[in-house]
Amino acid sequence: MVEHTVKAFDTDIGRLRGLISQMGGMAEAAIANAILALQRSDLVLAEEVRAGDKAVDALEAEVERLSVRIIALRAPMANDLREVVAALKIANVVERIADYAKNIAKRVPLIESEDRIEPISVLPAMAKMASAMVREALDAFAARDPAKALEVCASDSALDDFYDSIFRTLVTYMVENPKTIGQVAHLLFVAKNLERIGDHATNVAEMVYFAATGTRMGERDRGRTQD
């Protein structure tokens, strides 16, 4: 009987993990496509990213239903409960990450212009860095690997520095090209969205660390303090 329950719990948890890794893949693709749409002023691709966000929302709702059912039916204790609650929270964060990608996509039509806005070119590298953090955080979750989770947190300060540098670049560009201020203001938000994606990947990593070890990551482990 106990074995049967344990097996059922493992199946449920496996299902949860599968759903979250599916969500993570969708969020990564959304980030990449949103930035591609921005670079190419591709309104069709931007609209696809927007529309695709509903699928991520649906998966999050599925994770929520399944987590609540597991808690209510199997009344898991200690480690197992921590794992289910982590899955519920991580799904919520991944949904927010996908939301940031959607917000980037929504700016594509606002930035469109006959003249190419030069500083767009600095964003794809930042997007890659943010997206890699998301993937690594979810890999850490899949592998229950607290050491990998710590690495994700360490890369966040590099992403923050990247953001600060892009912020200054964009402001300088605005000063020198006042006609573009309206469009470049949207790029400021895009850069900020990427920086927030990194913060959320860090959040996921912190939850993975806690679920795996039962202790919170120390302030020192996390590098610079997060927003």
Query: In the set 22, 39, 92, 169, which binds a copy of itself (CB under 8 A)?
Result: 92
Angle (nearest 5°) at CA 89 between 191 and 96: 25
Shorter beta-carbon distance to a copy of itself: residue 73 or 143: 73
Segment interacting with a copy of itself (CB under 8 A) among 1-9, 14-22, 96-104, 201-209? 96-104
**Separation of alpha carbons 55 and 179, rounded Å:** 38
Residue 2 found at the interface with a copy of itself (CB under 8 A): no
Q: State in angstroms the smallest separation of the CB of 126 from a copy of itself.
A: 17
What is 86-140 written as a DSSP string?
HHHHHHHHHHHHHHHHHHHHHHHHHH--SS--GGGGGHHHHHHHHHHHHHHHHHH
Q: Contacts with a copy of itself in 43-82 (CB under 8 A)?
A: 64, 68, 71-73, 75-76, 81
Give the count of beta carbons closer than 10 Å to the beta carbon of residue 65.
Answer: 10
Query: In the set 12, 83, 99, 136, which binds a copy of itself (CB under 8 A)?
Result: 99
Give yes or no for a contact between 128 and 84, defined as CB atoms under 8 angstroms apart.
no
- Chain length of the chain: 227
**Separation of alpha carbons 23 and 21, rounded Å:** 5
Query: In the set 3, 78, 115, 178, which binds a copy of itself (CB under 8 A)?
Result: 178
**Separation of alpha carbons 175 and 118, rounded Å:** 14
Please compute Rg for the chain using Cα positions: 19
- Tokens representing residue 166 in the block: 């892009």
Q: Contacts with a copy of itself in 106-125 (CB under 8 A)?
A: 106
Segment interacting with a copy of itself (CB under 8 A) among 1-9, 114-122, 146-154, 169-177? 169-177
Segment interacting with a copy of itself (CB under 8 A) among 11-19, 99-107, 127-135, 150-158? 99-107
Shorter beta-carbon distance to a copy of itself: residue 33 or 203: 203
Interacting residues toward a copy of itself by CB under 8 A: 64, 68, 71-73, 75-76, 81, 85, 92, 99, 102-103, 106, 167, 170-171, 174-175, 178-179, 181-182, 185, 188-189, 192, 227
